[in-house]
Structure 1
């Protein structure tokens, strides 16, 4: 993984981790430090729950450092943050593994106080850029998820819809609609999602919520959201929303 040195003291002590467009995330030895937020306590409680359950698909929460930053364990592996990736990252086998990993942590949080009156705790930002891939039988396969700072109580379908959108890159870049539909079916079958009729509407909900949220917060003066808006993300998500709307019938047929 590419790292950029930001502090020296005989040897590199802190390094930026790539892909953090919103938060400045650094590695310090075998830990990751990121700015604390109002979500820090919830995320800490969630990661401790997953650790106590013996689940290895998330970093360990190690507390807060003397600069007030959240401290997490560093997960070694390949994070798919660059546009061009090895074929194994987007293979059918990797999609199956992603869906099963999501099912595992959903089941571990179902019925817990952290889920409250919702089905489970959702990650709410699942994508290849937030996935650690490791070698398994000679190929890269998903092993863990990072960036849990948006985690919150929610419905299982919320995370699965986000997975379909992000891991299949649903939008104008898709050249074969039927193939995308087949792979969407592979995800929901691997997760064993029961509530399928709302899947495509939930993908559209995510996309609409995403671009509106970025625009609203950017207009309100949020620097990070303004960077996303100025980088064209609002337009990109609006275009993806239109693509899913245009191909809604084919996508819905695939998961019936």
Structure 2
């Protein structure tokens, strides 16, 4: 086999690049994710990796999406142009997945199967780190392990936590690349409009609800022994998520209409 370039190497999660492919650990929900990615390929959606199978080490094999992602993606979403393009990227994905009807045999990371009324399969982890950029244009979405049935507002709210963002000024400056405190209400409205929403009513509550349910999911997966959630809980990450939720509740006036 060709040389492996390590893309991520944390406990229980080693991701490598081999040529034009990415090799990643599989999970009980991998068949569901592969069915989703194959649907996106069938409808011609250009921004998701293609499934190539399972290698001799039991790792999933996906096509490599060339570009910048991870920590390098954060500065891309600070400006209005990046924020708008990411909102449109999410809407394009939702439009592409709208016709996907997974069978009840496919189990997602949440343990859910099938789709409820008004649901589609959300990406589930639509944050800046999982967006691939070619220059100043988003060209791909990676890491689909958290895909799950939900209302499309789940992905919108999840994204807004990081893009509005629901973080204090110090963190925005120190870690997220903002030179000035962000106008959070304006950014929330800009994202919503670019996505195609006609109103921002209920969006702040939706973000807070996604934060709350995310904590519940992390703790549930940790209790089941899933990684990296078990390690996150052991390292105190769940308490950090609780602090972020508390900040959102205490500062929602920064996002609500005056």
TM-score under structure 1 length normalisation: 0.82
2:86 to 77, 98, 112: 98
Specify every segment of 5 or more residues in structure 2 that has no aligned partner in the other structure, as ranges: 103-113, 174-179
- Do the aligned partners of 2:163 and 2:187 also contact (CA within 8 Å) in 1? no
- 2-structure distance, mates of 1:166, 1:19: 24
Bigger drift between 155-164 and 204-213 goes to: 204-213
Q: Tell me which residue corresponds to 1:121.
A: 121
- Pair 1:43-2:33 in alignment: yes
Decide whether the 8 Å contact of 2:164 with 2:185 is kept in 1. Answer: no
What number of residue pairs does the alignment pair up?
238
Cα deviation, residue 134, structure 1: 1.1
Matched residue, 1:209: 213
Post-superposition CA distance 1:73-117 (Å, at most 9, x none):
0011111336xx674342211111111111111111214313734
Query: Does the C-alpha gap of structure 1 residues 26 and 178 become closer, same or farther in structure 2, counting only changes over 3 Å?
Result: closer
Provide the rounded CA distance (Å) in 2 between the counterparts of 1:120 and 1:220.
26
Deviation at 1:169, TM superposition (A): 3.8
Alignment of 1:129-168 (within 5 A): 129-135=129-135, 140-168=136-164
In structure 2, what is the Cα distance between the partners aligned to 1:184 and 1:195? 11
Residue 62 of structure 1, CA deviation: 1.0
**Could you say which residue in structure 2 is the equivalent of 1:227?**
231
Q: Which moved more, 1:212-221 or 1:37-46?
A: 212-221
Distance 2:226 2:40 in 1: 32
Q: Check 1:222–1:38 CA distance in 2 against 1; reply closer, same or farther (3 A cut).
A: closer
Maintained 8 Å contact 1:211/1:233: no
C-alpha RMSD over aligned residues: 2.6
